[in-house]
Structure 1
Amino acid sequence: MRHLLPALLLALALPLPAEETKPAAPPAEASKPPPPDEVRLKNGDRLTGTVASLAGGKLVINTLLAGTVTVDWSQVASIRTSSKVVVKLSTGEVVEGQLVEAPEGRIKVATAGAAAPVEIEAVKVSKFNEPPAQWHGALTLSLKVTDGNTHTRSFLFAAEGTRATENDLFLLRALFRYGQKSGVIDERNAYGLAKYNYTFHKGLYGYLSAELLSDRFKDLDLNTVVSAGAGYEILKEEWIDLTAEAGLAYIDNNFHDADDDSHLGGRASARLRVALPLDFEFKDLFTIYPNFEDSQDYQYRNEATLGTAVGGGWSLLGGVITEFDNEPSPGLRRYDNTYFVGLGYKF
């Protein structure tokens, strides 16, 4: 026992063995950002950044140094992206995936789940990242008020909406005019148009349309024109557009006092837009409706406007609307002109 007690005291006095310490884990390496997209041109130039879109033969790249750059798709030798791109072909097919290295004149799309990238001829590519079709439109309002020896109240309201895709276009238009003089209505006219265009070939399209016109002071309860035909974009540049179209039409007239009539006729129309100096823009829409059963019976409508943008989607507009009937109801003039100045808004 006397030998056990010193041994016990010695064991308690000795320090405990230190725990084995593990080396600290190195800090996790920060994830590297993906490399920028790269576009190589046929002249040897290289552009890096983010591929934004392709439409109308123009490729748009957002670069860090030069900002947004637009190049001709025909001048692109190769293209590589880090993120997915929605590729639309001229046939209407859509492929989505990352663009990887490909031989000149072709692109390769690495789609999810595919064993190998899809290889496509560059000339068959129509669009990158096509935005969904949306409605756009414009509103116009013109007011006139006089007081004193005469008391007049009148206004003109117009609205237009379009939804365009690569292959077709929907168009809706409405125009309403109303006026009073000394409390008596002296003007009430309403016009509406619904139209659908389908593109057969670049610049060439077919159309279906329906137009309605009512005018209390022309003895016209309702004029209906249903038409089908073809049109062609003669000019389409940044500063000018010119389109012409023609087709067959069924025309039905319901009069208030005169006898109603309906007949087979035609519809021909021309639309012009010209950008002018000082940010002015001129537009003209002319439409004529001949009667195939009576060569002396025809009507035409012309809308001419001159406007300039004032900012924020607003514009200042002025123009004239002409409605002509070569054989009006008895006691009525053949034409009416409406002059207006007002505000417009595009959305």
Structure 2
Amino acid sequence: MKLHTLTKAFAACIVAVSAVAQLSADVIETKSGSRITGKVVKIDGSSVVVNTDFAGDIKVKQSEVVSISTEAPLNIRLAGGTVLQGTLSSPTGGGAVVLTGSEGTINTSVEKIATTWAPGTIDPELAALQRGWAYEVAVDVTGKTGNKEQLGTSFSARAVQKNAQDTLQFYTAYDRQETDGLKSADQFKAGVDYANNFAGRLSWYTRDEGGFDRVKDIELYNIAAAGLGYDFIKKANQTLTGRAGVSFRYEGYKNPLIEDVKAAGLDFGLTHEYTGSFWSLVNRISWVPLFEDFGNYRAQHESYLELPMANPKWKARFGVSNDFNSEPAPGVDKLDTTYFARLVLSFK
């Protein structure tokens, strides 16, 4: 009898604890009648993220939520800019929400909640404006013996400082190839690129790149440009940006009989970046024609696929790059194409 009584008491405790857990949980309801219980992690103006015991994080379209209640206080920013720390409740449903904080209550709606973040953490808008450097270093070494002797080394590095407002990049690369004891590539470049998103998808940019290409007899080249950019696609996992501006192009040849290029022109560029679940694809194209002769131009292209390795800091990069000079030095081909497989180290 005593055992039976203990069993009933234990069962009652379990029910009570379960009920308390339900009462202390956050709850959202959708237009379809679905009810999700857990902890509201984030509201970002387009979706509500709820952490659940049974399915981890669940993302629900904010426009589909008609009722929301939270137990723990959140920092909440409304679409109009008002910021309040407090809890959310929906006594009447239908999308209506009451924000309750130490300074009183505000009646609003689910769709007017722009952002939430946990007390003690940084405001997402401020976090988006914070600057932080990200670095990558890539290297590859290739060799071949037998019918032909070949040895090649390539090195590149890039440093990027980016936030929601602007992006600053420094980059450099060197490529040297020898085939049967003769140089088939000896090329170096270094540059800086700055872009400022001053109005939504619109941006202005300035860039400068210089270097040499000894196989093409270019002792020194430099391209300085500035103009406007536009984001045709601007998503978290994909961007497509076009550029158009003016430039000044210089190419100094080692051979004194070849006339150096010193002229102003246009500057066009297109950059596409896509990040998948475990891979990324990057495409970059630039075209720099001269005002005095549109047939005299330099075009560059690079495309590569990047795959992660066991250590997330290391990646494998496979791609192709093209460097086209419409009026090269005598005896030099217009187009240089490089196929590459590189080991990339990324860090912050």
Question: Is residue 2:173 matched to residue 1:175?
Answer: yes
Compute the displacement of 1:107 (Å): 6.4
Counterpart for residue 332 of structure 1: 332
Unaligned runs of 5+ in 1: 1-31
Counterpart for residue 108 of structure 1: 99
What is the rounded CA distance, in whole Å, between the counterparts of 2:329 and 2:77 in structure 1?
55
Deviations 1:41-97 (A, max 9, x none): 344433332332344723322112221111112223344444454445668x58362
Mapped contact 2:298–2:326 kept (Cα < 8 A) = yes
What is the rounded CA distance, in whole Å, between the counterparts of 1:49 and 1:246 in structure 2?
49
Counterpart for residue 67 of structure 1: 56
Unaligned runs of 5+ in 2: 1-19, 118-123
What is the rounded CA distance, in whole Å, between the counterparts of 1:292 and 1:154 in structure 2?
37
After superposition, residues 66-215 of structure 1 pair within 5 angstroms as: 66-87=55-76, 95=83, 97-101=85-89, 104=95, 108=99, 110=101, 115-117=103-105, 123=111, 125-129=113-117, 130=124, 133=130, 134-147=132-145, 151-180=149-178, 186-200=184-198, 202-215=200-213
Taking a change above 3 Å as real, the CA distance of residues 274 and 230 of structure 1, as seen in their structure-2 partners, is: closer
Compute the displacement of 1:307 (Å): 4.2
**SS of the residue aligned with 1:217?**
coil
One-letter amino acid matched to 1:35:
S
Question: Which one is further off, 114-123 or 291-300?
Answer: 114-123
Mapped contact 2:96–2:107 kept (Cα < 8 A) = no
Mapped contact 1:38–1:47 kept (Cα < 8 A) = yes
What is the rounded CA distance, in whole Å, between the counterparts of 1:228 and 1:140 in structure 2?
29
Deviations 1:266-293 (A, max 9, x none): 22122345689x9775532211111122
Deviations 1:298-339 (A, max 9, x none): 110011223444443344332221101112234432221112
Mapped contact 2:88–2:97 kept (Cα < 8 A) = no
After superposition, residues 8-87 of structure 1 pair within 5 angstroms as: 35-55=24-44, 57-87=46-76
Quick check: which has more Rg, 1 or 2?
1
Compute the displacement of 1:341 (Å): 1.9
**SS of the residue aligned with 1:296?**
coil
TM-score (norm 2): 0.71
What is the rounded CA distance, in whole Å, between the counterparts of 2:77 and 2:112 in structure 1?
9
Structure 1 moving runs of 4+ over 6 Å: none
TM-score (norm 1): 0.71
Taking a change above 3 Å as real, the CA distance of residues 250 and 166 of structure 1, as seen in their structure-2 partners, is: same
What is the rounded CA distance, in whole Å, between the counterparts of 1:259 and 1:323 in structure 2?
20
Taking a change above 3 Å as real, the CA distance of residues 56 and 301 of structure 1, as seen in their structure-2 partners, is: farther
What is the rounded CA distance, in whole Å, between the counterparts of 2:189 and 2:113 in structure 1?
42
Question: Is residue 2:286 matched to residue 1:297?
Answer: no
What is the rounded CA distance, in whole Å, between the counterparts of 1:148 and 1:38 in structure 2?
71
